[in-house]
Structure 1
């Protein structure tokens, strides 16, 4: 016999369908008018009474952090979201939304997991991260990569949840475990680019209502993030920390403790190497023609070749050899640059300089990096910029102690600049740097760690992803 919770779920599911049916009939009779779904207050009360029971169950678990976090959030019902739950930030608070047509098809453990899923996105600052990279990658690739990252911590996922095994199977990939968000994003996007246009995130038009979603869609599951209030990253981080502090009522799992520590220890400003990752994504890429893909604008023209994304970056790395940067800092910096750009089509040029350019050479790997020449002059930035202006560089990364001219004699043309101040330096002497200025510090490229006691142990075996910084 069904228990009370199951009976209540079925009862509410039938009422949700009645709400949708009434709306569909009204819409059909009043064609052309803009209508909103009217949700009866008694249905809302009964539905959120059931959500309270799920929340109570969360609070009784060892990781009651999620229950206390949910307790602080505002709640609403939306039939136009294509996932059981969704989240955004409005009016100085996080709001969690429920689509009853999808949520009520889950058992209580799956309901708990989909709520945890949304909160993990918040703690991982995915709402900010997705906004930063929008337009450089497809929505589907971003959504799947982020969901792979958070779902590894969760048991009792819905059968349609985006997992590493499921993505590997559906897209014939061999994604590795224990990798970063950026790794999954690049791999998934590359595969999507190779697919025929008809196969790439084709929308199901079976939903004639348009504003009623009845099935999960990985491409649209995070669309509601776009409705969040415009707020800077630091302010959102402060609000998130307040929610986290109020939710920590006892011991929390080690993986969650690591995520929270990463959030609180971040200073709202990306370290130089992570900032370089962001710059790499903004560099204009060349398109590569292919016969394996139809032309997007004229798909019926089989004589026209399609295009693949092809990151082609000309990168200059200037090293101040005046004595301000140690050999250890120099080698570590070059190693990190090569690690960051390895997934791109790129060519790196090393420029050794002090008050003039001393040597220029190209590198493909760490073994190509030469020992610095033993010359210790003063520091001037202008010679490097003069050289770069006469080349077709996309990006100049300049490692220096920052002590040089106050004003450049020329302005950079056609490329971005990232100034990286050495550990012995203080600040950049230039009044106008024409680019971002970051401090050189020992920051791990791989931002995530994992404790095997925290990974999922159910049949989906998603025991192998890492959250983003």
Structure 2
């Protein structure tokens, strides 16, 4: 039997159709003239009464964080967005927009999910991060990647939602769940670049800049983000934190807790995984001297050695085994390392150490990672650097809680150093770290509401995109 809510949604859907039909008729009669869609005030009132019911349902749910967050936002109706909901930031407020034609075709649970979807974009700072990447990746790749990320945390999605299963099926990919935004956008863009866009090799966009959208279109779901007020990253984070604080009326699910924690702990700097990606770019650009090739700039100078590009990068990943870093944290971290370096010609050595080096071994993939040895001594950093100096490394990544000496007994020579402090650690004890020091966000266990058969054991996701996820 049809509920009162469903009847009201259907009634409003019919009203919405009348509004856009009237607009279309006026437009056809007055070609060349520009005018906005006239949305009667009584329709707005009735529509937002229905949204209030959805909001009340969210506030009564165990995930009531979303309901309290929505309560603080401004709301508006737009027929020109190609998704049920959209969001941007205006006048020191987040604004959530609704396209009645697309939104009202959903049931209540699906409506709730579309609202949660927008709030997860906000918490992940996708409005900022998407903007930063738009000159490097296509709008379609960015939109799909961001939607795949947040939709993995939601149930009751609309049938057309951009999910990981949809992505893998439609783009012939085999991407894993709960990876970072940056991981997905890079893989998606690579696949898009391989596809022929049209006969002339030029990208075709059939999207017409009309005032009415009646169907979901992933390439334009976040167009309204461009209309956000110009605001610096620090200020936007501060506003977001205020929204978050007022929305926490009890316990939040683990995945939300991790996301909120990452947002609050962010200092506006690159997270460790993105910093590592930048370092890898510099490592790969190194050139190996060779006597078998003449110097290209001065070929007649036989005393000058030539250079070979793309030599194998020697990378060491040191793990403090003193018990300060959990197995889950390290598994998550080493998987990220492998994902970042796999496109480079590299060789990785794992170094397990406490107050001395206990074991070293090579890895090429996740399956090569061994169970950690069960020895728990104190922590001393110097032995690892003594080892690294002998091995002529390009890069050393050191995972630790930060508690060790205050001064190294040897100075790192000829390689870059990245310290990653575990989620339980505070800061690095060394007075001079000889490299960048980053924080590893705490690993959270996924909620039971997620399909656990699809969950990786590396625990981090959304703000590992950026842990700033």
Fold in common (TM above 0.5): yes
Give the Cα separation in 2 of the matches to 1:462 and 1:378.
Answer: 45
Unaligned runs of 5+ in 2: 286-308, 321-329, 348-362, 369-384, 393-407, 420-427
Task: Please give the secondary structure, in 2, of the residue aligned with 1:24.
Answer: helix
1:240-389 pair list within 5 angstroms? 240-271=240-271, 273-277=273-277, 339=338, 341-345=340-344, 371-373=388-390
Q: CA deviation at 1:466?
A: 2.5
Shift of the 255–6 alpha-carbon distance from structure 1 to 2, 3 Å rule, reads same
* TM-score, normalised via structure 1 length: 0.67
Q: Which residue of 2 aligns with 1:89?
A: 89
1:424 and 2:430 matched: yes
Q: Supply the distance in 2 between the matched residues of 1:276 and 1:242 (Cα, whole angstroms).
A: 31
Q: Deviations over 1:349-379 (max 9, x none)?
A: xxxxxxxxxxxxxxx9899x97315999999
CA 89–280 in structure 1, closer or farther in 2 if over 3 Å, else same = farther
Deviation for aligned residue 1:317? 10
- In 1, distance between residues paired with 2:279 and 2:211? 37
Cα deviation for residue 181 of structure 1 reads 2.1
Question: Residue 440 of structure 1: SS of its match in structure 2?
Answer: strand
Q: 1:10 to 1:92 in 2, by over 3 A?
A: same
Task: Give the Å deviation of 1:2.
Answer: 2.1
- Give the root-mean-square deviation of aligned CA atoms: 4.2
Instruction: Give deviations 1:185-234, integer Å, cap 9, x for gaps.
Output: 222221111111139986455x7x72211000111111111111111111
Residue matched to 2:461: 466
Matching residue of 1:453:
447
2: CA distance between counterparts of 1:454 and 1:8?
33
Is 1:152 aligned to 2:147, yes or no? Answer: no
Contact 2:87 2:118 in 1 (8 A): yes
Residues 315, 196 of structure 1: CA spacing in aligned structure 2 closer, same or farther, 3 A cutoff?
same
Q: Structure 1: how far apart are the matches of 2:108 and 2:82?
A: 19
Of 434, 437, 440, the residue aligned with 2:437 is: 440
- Quick one: structure 1 residues 128 and 397, their matched pair in 2 at CA, closer, same or farther if it must change by over 3 Å? farther
Measure, in 2, the Cα distance between the counterparts of 1:250 and 1:378.
Answer: 50
Contact map agreement 1:423 1:440 (CA 8 A) in 2 = no
Give the Å deviation of 1:452: 3.6
**Paired residue for 2:63?**
63
Size of the aligned set, in residue pairs, is: 369
Residues in 2 aligned to 1:11 and 1:129: alpha-carbon distance in whole angstroms = 39
Aligned to 2:305: none
Residue 55 of structure 1: how far off its partner (Å): 0.3
Q: Secondary structure at the match of 1:137?
A: coil
SS in 2 for 1:47: helix
The two structures have a TM-score, normalised by structure 2, of: 0.67
Alpha-carbon distance in structure 1 between the residues aligned to 2:390 and 2:162: 51
- Alpha-carbon distance change, 345 to 139 in structure 1, aligned in 2, over 3 angstroms: farther
